[in-house]
């Protein structure tokens, strides 16, 4: 005897496979998204468009364009010796800070990763200076560590080793590079240590076990060179790009430690003096900001193409080959 199906079963509506819309979800989205959108437009997009517009005009003492000058503001930076000297200052600073930061952060990451306990404590200790203000750190470096007095902390350390006190930490080369690099190193090495630490902890342990079976000693230099370093290639590329961008953006330590010294004036300090200093030339300053941005973009693209973010080796070889062919054709 068959049992009749209920009426609801016989007249069943078709299943809905599409996403279910939550009532009021659209209103919640716009409530959360609108403040971010307004901030992005007001504080990022509009200033970028206005800066690009001012770069084509003469705007001295005003943020409103006056006379159209075309590319004259851009041509100014091709012959301005002060701007070229600021690029040289950046190059020297980057040659110091980038490799030193990479070596120190990688070394700290390896040491912390090898600890059996208290990894969270040491991660917090080394990362804590990242939360410190650059201005506050510069004040400490200038007034306490490298104040040029015999009672200064660094001069006292030198005296303990029988060395003479140095009074020209911030006024003579190469002493000012020690001050500038050390304060930036203290402020940022903890952040990049965390990036390397994340890369180290993402390496499969099976690779080390297989290498140990093949005769490599655990924790040895060959194990580090053959297994660890190749696995960190993507992390190295990311850290290098971030360090180059941070070096381009160097401002606080130079402005607060050495001031407007032409020998230690990076591009941002130079542009700050043009736009907000005695000249108040917003047109030339906007053009310089665009030139500096273009240099950063080109440097980032070259670095990404040569090292890559997760790309295969064949792609990087093709990119390098195109660069060599372009150089030969130019010659």
CA distance 145 to 170: 12
What tokens does 318 get?
Answer: 């093709």
Q: Do the Cβ atoms of 83 and 288 come closer than 8 Å?
A: yes
Domains and CATH numbers, the chain: 72-330 (1.10.3720.10)
What per-residue confidence (pLDDT) applies to 276? 84
Q: Do the Cβ atoms of 234 and 316 come closer than 8 Å?
A: no
Question: What's 189-206 look like in SS3?
Answer: HHHHHHHHHHHHHCCCHH
CA distance 97 to 38: 37
What per-residue confidence (pLDDT) applies to 135? 92
* pTM value > 0.75: yes
The long-range contacts involving 145-153, CB below 8 angstroms and separated by at least 24 positions, are 146/170, 146/178, 146/179
Q: How far is the CA of 1 from the CAs of 4, 10, 236, 248, 289, in angstroms?
A: 10, 18, 75, 85, 87
- DSSP, residue by residue, 161-225: TTPPP-S-TTTSTTHHHHHHHHHHHHHHHHHHHHHHHHHHHTS-HHHHHHHHHTTPPTTSHHHII
Query: Tens place of pLDDT for every residue, the chain, 331 residues?
Result: 444 555 454 555 555 555 555 555 778 888 888 999 999 999 999 988 998 998 898 888 887 888 888 888 898 888 888 899 999 999 999 999 999 999 999 999 999 988 888 888 989 999 999 989 899 999 999 998 998 888 889 999 999 888 888 888 988 888 999 999 999 999 999 999 999 999 999 888 888 888 888 777 777 788 888 888 888 888 998 899 899 889 988 899 999 998 878 888 899 999 888 888 777 888 888 898 899 889 888 888 887 777 655 455 555 455 455 545 655 554 5
Q: Beta partners for 60?
A: 281
CA distance 166 to 152: 10
């Amino acid at each position: 005897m068959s049992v009749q199906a209920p009426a609801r079963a016989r007249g069943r509506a078709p299943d809905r496979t599409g996403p279910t819309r939550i009532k009021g979800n659209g209103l919640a989205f716009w409530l959360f998204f609108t403040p971010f959108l307004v901030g992005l437009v007001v504080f990022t997009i509009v200033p970028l468009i206005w800066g690009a517009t001012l770069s084509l005009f003469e705007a001295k003492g005003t943020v409103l364009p006056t006379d159209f000058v075309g590319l004259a503001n851009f041509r100014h930076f091709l012959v301005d010796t002060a701007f070229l000297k600021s690029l040289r200052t950046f190059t020297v600073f980057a040659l110091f800070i980038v490799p030193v930061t990479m070596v120190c952060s990688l070394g700290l990451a390896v040491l912390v990763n090898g600890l059996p306990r208290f990894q969270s404590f040491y991660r917090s200790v080394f990362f804590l200076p990242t939360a410190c203000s650059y201005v506050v750190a510069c004040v400490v470096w200038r007034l306490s560590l490298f104040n040029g007095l015999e009672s200064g902390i660094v001069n006292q350390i030198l005296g303990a080793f029988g060395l003479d006190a140095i009074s020209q930490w911030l006024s003579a080369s190469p002493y000012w590079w020690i001050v500038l690099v050390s304060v930036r190193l203290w402020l940022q090495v903890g952040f990049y240590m965390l990036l390397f630490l994340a890369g180290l902890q993402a390496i499969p342990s099976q690779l080390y076990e297989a290498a140990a079976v093949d005769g490599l000693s655990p924790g040895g230099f060959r194990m580090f060179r053959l297994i660890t370093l190749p696995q960190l290639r993507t992390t190295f590329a990311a850290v290098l790009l971030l360090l180059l961008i941070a070096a381009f953006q160097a401002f606080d330590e130079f402005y607060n430690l050495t001031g407007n010294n032409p020998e230690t004036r990076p591009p941002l300090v130079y542009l700050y003096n043009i736009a907000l200093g005695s000249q108040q030339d917003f047109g030339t300053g906007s053009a310089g900001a665009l030139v500096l941005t273009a240099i950063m973009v080109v440097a980032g693209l070259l670095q990404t193409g040569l090292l890559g973010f997760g790309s295969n080796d064949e792609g990087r070889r093709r990119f390098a080959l195109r660069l060599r062919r372009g150089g030969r054709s130019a010659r």
